[in-house]
Structure 1
Amino acid sequence: MKRIHFTVVLSLLFSALSFSQSAIIRGVILDEGHSPIEGVNITTNTGEGTATNKNGFYELKVPYDVEVTVVFTHVSHKRIEQKFNLKNGQEIEYNPVMLIEFEQIATVVINTNTRQSVDGVTSISPQMIRTIKGAQPGVENILKTLPGVNISNELSTQYSVRGGNFDENLVYVNEIEVYRPFLIRSGNQEGLSFVNTDMVHNVDFSAGGFQAKYGDKLASVLDITYRNPVDFGIRADLSLLGGSVTAETISKDGKFSGIAGVRYRDNSLLLNSLETEGNVEPVFADAQTYLTYRFSSKFHLNFLGNISLNKYNFQPNNRQTNFGTLEDPVALLVFYEGQEKDQYKTYFGAFKANYFVNDDLTLKLVTSAYHTTEQEYFDILAQYRLGEINTNIGDENLGDVEFSEGIGSQLTHARNDLDAFIVNAEHRGDYKIDKESTIEWSVKYTNEDIRDRLMEYEMIDSAGFSIRPPRFNQPNYQPYESFSGPITAFENIRALNRVQINRMQAFAQYSRRTDWNGHEVFYNAGVRSHSWNVSGDNISNSKTQTVVSPRGQFAIKPNWDKDMLFRVAAGIYYQPPFYRELRDSSGTVQPNVKAQKSFHVVLGNEYSFEMWERPFKLVTEAYYKGMTDVNPYTLENVRVRYSAKNNAEAYAYGLDLRLNGEFVPGTESWFSFGYLKTEENIDNRGFIARPTDQRLKFGALFQDYVPNMPDLKMYLNLVYNTGVPGGSPSYADPYIYQLRLRDYRRADLGISYQIINSEKTYNSKWKKSFRELAIGFEIYNMFNNQNAITNTWVRDVYSKRQFAIPNYLTPRVFNVRLSARF
Structure 2
Amino acid sequence: MKTQAYLLYLLLFINFGLCAQQATLNGVILDENKIPLPGASITYAGGGTQSNKNGVYELRIPANQTVKVNISYVGFKNITVTLNLKVNQVYELNPVLKTDVEQIAEVVISGREQKVVEGITTLDPETIRNTPSANPGVEGLLKSLPGVSSNNELSTQYAVRGGNYDENLVYVNEIEVYRPFLIRSGQQEGLSFVNTDLVSNVDFSAGGFQAKYGDKLSSVLDITYRRPTRIGASADLSLLGARVSAEGITKDKKLAAILGARYRDNSLLVNAKDTETNFRPRFADIQTYISYNLSNTFELGFLGNISINKYDYQPLTQQTNFGTLQNPLALVVFYEGQEKDKYETYFGAFKGTYKPNENLLLKFIASGYHTQEQEYYDIFALYRLGVVNTDIGSDEVGDVVLTGTAGSQLTHARNDLDALIFNLQHRGSFSRDEHQIEWGIKYTSEDIRDRVQEYEIIDSAGFSIRPPIEDFVNDQPYNPYTSPIVPFANVRATNDVQIDRISTFGQYSLRTAINNTDVWINAGVRSQTWTVSGAGLQSTTQTVVSPRAQLAIKPDWKRDMIFRVSGGYYHQPPFYRELRDSLGVVRPEVKAQESIHLVLGHDYSFKLWDRPFTLTSEFYYKTLNDVNPYTIENVRIRYRARNNAEAYATGLDLRLNGEFIPGTESWVSLGVLKTEENIDNRGYISRPTDQRLKIGALFQDYVPTIPNLKMYLNLVYQTGVPGGSPSYADPYNFQTRLRDYRRADLGISYILVGPEKQPKADSFLRHFRSLNLGFEIFNIFDNRNSITNTFVRDASSKQQFAIPNILTPRVFNIRLGMRF
- The reply to whether TM is greater than 0.5 is yes
Tell me what 1:249 maps to.
248
**The residue matched to 2:370 in structure 1 has which SS?**
strand
Question: Could you give the per-residue CA deviations for residues 428-477 of structure 1, whole angstroms, max 9, x where no partner exists?
Answer: 11111x22111111010000000000000000111211111022345657
Match of residue 595, structure 2, among 588, 591, 598? 598
**Equivalent-residue separation in structure 1 for 2:126 and 2:294 (angstroms):** 31
Q: Is the aligned partner of 1:744 residue 2:741?
A: yes
Tell me what 2:208 maps to.
209
**Equivalent-residue separation in structure 1 for 2:110 and 2:161 (angstroms):** 27
**Equivalent-residue separation in structure 2 for 1:819 and 1:746 (angstroms):** 25
Tell me what 2:99 maps to.
none
**The residue matched to 1:544 in structure 2 has which SS?**
strand
Tell me what 1:536 maps to.
534
How far residue 291 of structure 1 moved from its aligned partner, in angstroms, is: 0.5
**The residue matched to 1:252 in structure 2 has which SS?**
coil
How far residue 357 of structure 1 moved from its aligned partner, in angstroms, is: 1.0
**The residue matched to 1:507 in structure 2 has which SS?**
strand
Does the 8 A contact of 1:784 with 1:812 survive in 2? yes
Amino acid at match of 2:259: A
- 1:638/1:240 CA distance change after superposition, 3 Å: same
Tell me what 2:234 maps to.
235
Tell me what 2:487 maps to.
489
Tell me what 2:39 maps to.
none
Tell me what 2:279 maps to.
280
- 1:83/1:177 CA distance change after superposition, 3 Å: closer
**Equivalent-residue separation in structure 2 for 1:476 and 1:364 (angstroms):** 67
Question: Could you give the per-residue CA deviations for residues 604-654 of structure 1, whole angstroms, max 9, x where no partner exists?
Answer: 000000001100000000000011011000111101011111011111000
Amino acid at match of 1:393: I
**The residue matched to 1:735 in structure 2 has which SS?**
helix
Does the 8 A contact of 2:631 with 2:724 survive in 1? no
Tell me what 2:704 maps to.
707
**Equivalent-residue separation in structure 1 for 2:401 and 2:46 (angstroms):** 82
**Equivalent-residue separation in structure 1 for 2:766 and 2:339 (angstroms):** 49
Match of residue 655, structure 1, among 652, 655, 662? 652
**Equivalent-residue separation in structure 1 for 2:632 and 2:184 (angstroms):** 9
Question: Could you give the per-residue CA deviations for residues 661-713 of structure 1, whole angstroms, max 9, x where no partner exists?
Answer: 00011100000000111111111111111110010000000000001111000
Amino acid at match of 2:144: T
**Equivalent-residue separation in structure 2 for 1:777 and 1:682 (angstroms):** 48
How far residue 118 of structure 1 moved from its aligned partner, in angstroms, is: 0.9
Match of residue 91, structure 2, among 81, 84, 107? 84
**Equivalent-residue separation in structure 2 for 1:83 and 1:573 (angstroms):** 35
**Equivalent-residue separation in structure 2 for 1:146 and 1:667 (angstroms):** 17
**Equivalent-residue separation in structure 2 for 1:798 and 1:181 (angstroms):** 41
**Equivalent-residue separation in structure 2 for 1:208 and 1:62 (angstroms):** 39
**Equivalent-residue separation in structure 1 for 2:124 and 2:383 (angstroms):** 49
Tell me what 1:612 maps to.
609
Match of residue 580, structure 2, among 573, 580, 583? 583
Matches within 5 A, 1:598-677: 598-677=595-674
Amino acid at match of 1:544: T
Does the 8 A contact of 1:458 with 1:490 survive in 2? yes
**Equivalent-residue separation in structure 1 for 2:45 and 2:638 (angstroms):** 64
**Equivalent-residue separation in structure 2 for 1:497 and 1:627 (angstroms):** 29
Does the 8 A contact of 2:264 with 2:284 survive in 1? yes
**Equivalent-residue separation in structure 1 for 2:522 and 2:407 (angstroms):** 61
How far residue 806 of structure 1 moved from its aligned partner, in angstroms, is: 1.1
**Equivalent-residue separation in structure 2 for 1:746 and 1:530 (angstroms):** 41
Tell me what 2:776 maps to.
778
Tell me what 1:817 maps to.
815
**Equivalent-residue separation in structure 1 for 2:88 and 2:473 (angstroms):** 81
Does the 8 A contact of 1:43 with 1:70 survive in 2? no
How far residue 758 of structure 1 moved from its aligned partner, in angstroms, is: 3.1
Tell me what 1:429 maps to.
428
Does the 8 A contact of 1:514 with 1:520 survive in 2? yes
Question: Could you give the per-residue CA deviations for residues 319-348 of structure 1, whole angstroms, max 9, x where no partner exists?
Answer: 111222333322211100000000000000
Aligned length: 752
**Equivalent-residue separation in structure 2 for 1:249 and 1:132 (angstroms):** 26
Tell me what 2:352 maps to.
353
- 1:707/1:143 CA distance change after superposition, 3 Å: same
Tell me what 1:500 maps to.
498
**The residue matched to 2:273 in structure 1 has which SS?**
coil
Question: Could you give the per-residue CA deviations for residues 380-433 of structure 1, whole angstroms, max 9, x where no partner exists?
Answer: 00001112223333333222222221110010000000000000000111111x
Amino acid at match of 1:660: N
**Equivalent-residue separation in structure 1 for 2:475 and 2:29 (angstroms):** 75
**The residue matched to 1:486 in structure 2 has which SS?**
coil
Question: Could you give the per-residue CA deviations for residues 163-183 of structure 1, whole angstroms, max 9, x where no partner exists?
Answer: 000000000000000000000
Match of residue 694, structure 1, among 691, 694, 707? 691
Does the 8 A contact of 1:386 with 1:796 survive in 2? no
Q: Is the aligned partner of 1:381 residue 2:380?
A: yes
Question: Could you give the per-residue CA deviations for residues 763-804 of structure 1, whole angstroms, max 9, x where no partner exists?
Answer: 243011111000000000000000011112224577543222
Amino acid at match of 2:494: L
**Equivalent-residue separation in structure 1 for 2:89 and 2:581 (angstroms):** 55
- 1:466/1:798 CA distance change after superposition, 3 Å: closer
Amino acid at match of 2:273: L
**The residue matched to 1:785 in structure 2 has which SS?**
coil
How far residue 727 of structure 1 moved from its aligned partner, in angstroms, is: 4.5
Percent identity between the two aligned chains: 64
Matches within 5 A, 1:733-812: 733-763=730-760, 764-795=762-793, 800-812=798-810
Does the 8 A contact of 1:275 with 1:808 survive in 2? yes
Matches within 5 A, 1:22-101: 84-85=91-92
**Equivalent-residue separation in structure 1 for 2:425 and 2:232 (angstroms):** 33
- 1:229/1:62 CA distance change after superposition, 3 Å: farther
- 1:21/1:202 CA distance change after superposition, 3 Å: farther
Tell me what 1:718 maps to.
715
Does the 8 A contact of 2:461 with 2:796 survive in 1? no
Does the 8 A contact of 1:288 with 1:305 survive in 2? yes
Tell me what 1:446 maps to.
444
Superposed CA RMSD: 2.8
Does the 8 A contact of 2:260 with 2:287 survive in 1? yes
Q: Is the aligned partner of 1:513 residue 2:488?
A: no
Amino acid at match of 1:265: R
How far residue 59 of structure 1 moved from its aligned partner, in angstroms, is: 7.3
**The residue matched to 1:546 in structure 2 has which SS?**
strand
Tell me what 1:323 maps to.
322
Amino acid at match of 2:721: V
Matches within 5 A, 1:285-364: 285-364=284-363
Unaligned runs of 5+ in 1: 1-18, 23-37, 49-55, 64-68, 74-79, 96-109
Tell me what 1:32 maps to.
none
Tell me what 2:463 maps to.
465
How far residue 731 of structure 1 moved from its aligned partner, in angstroms, is: 3.2
Could you state the TM-score of these two structures normalised by the residue count of structure 2?
A: 0.88
**The residue matched to 1:214 in structure 2 has which SS?**
coil
Could you state the TM-score of these two structures normalised by the residue count of structure 1?
A: 0.88
- 1:604/1:82 CA distance change after superposition, 3 Å: closer
**Equivalent-residue separation in structure 1 for 2:792 and 2:110 (angstroms):** 56
**Equivalent-residue separation in structure 1 for 2:477 and 2:70 (angstroms):** 86
**Equivalent-residue separation in structure 1 for 2:619 and 2:511 (angstroms):** 24
Amino acid at match of 1:777: F
How far residue 84 of structure 1 moved from its aligned partner, in angstroms, is: 1.9
**The residue matched to 1:133 in structure 2 has which SS?**
coil
Question: Could you give the per-residue CA deviations for residues 475-514 of structure 1, whole angstroms, max 9, x where no partner exists?
Answer: 6577776441110110000000000000001101001100
Tell me what 1:182 maps to.
181
**Equivalent-residue separation in structure 2 for 1:133 and 1:200 (angstroms):** 17
Deviates more, 1:466-475 or 1:169-178: 466-475
Deviates more, 1:391-400 or 1:142-151: 391-400
Does the 8 A contact of 2:285 with 2:308 survive in 1? yes
- 1:186/1:57 CA distance change after superposition, 3 Å: closer
Amino acid at match of 1:815: N
Does the 8 A contact of 1:165 with 1:692 survive in 2? yes
**Equivalent-residue separation in structure 2 for 1:236 and 1:446 (angstroms):** 37
Deviates more, 1:717-726 or 1:394-403: 394-403
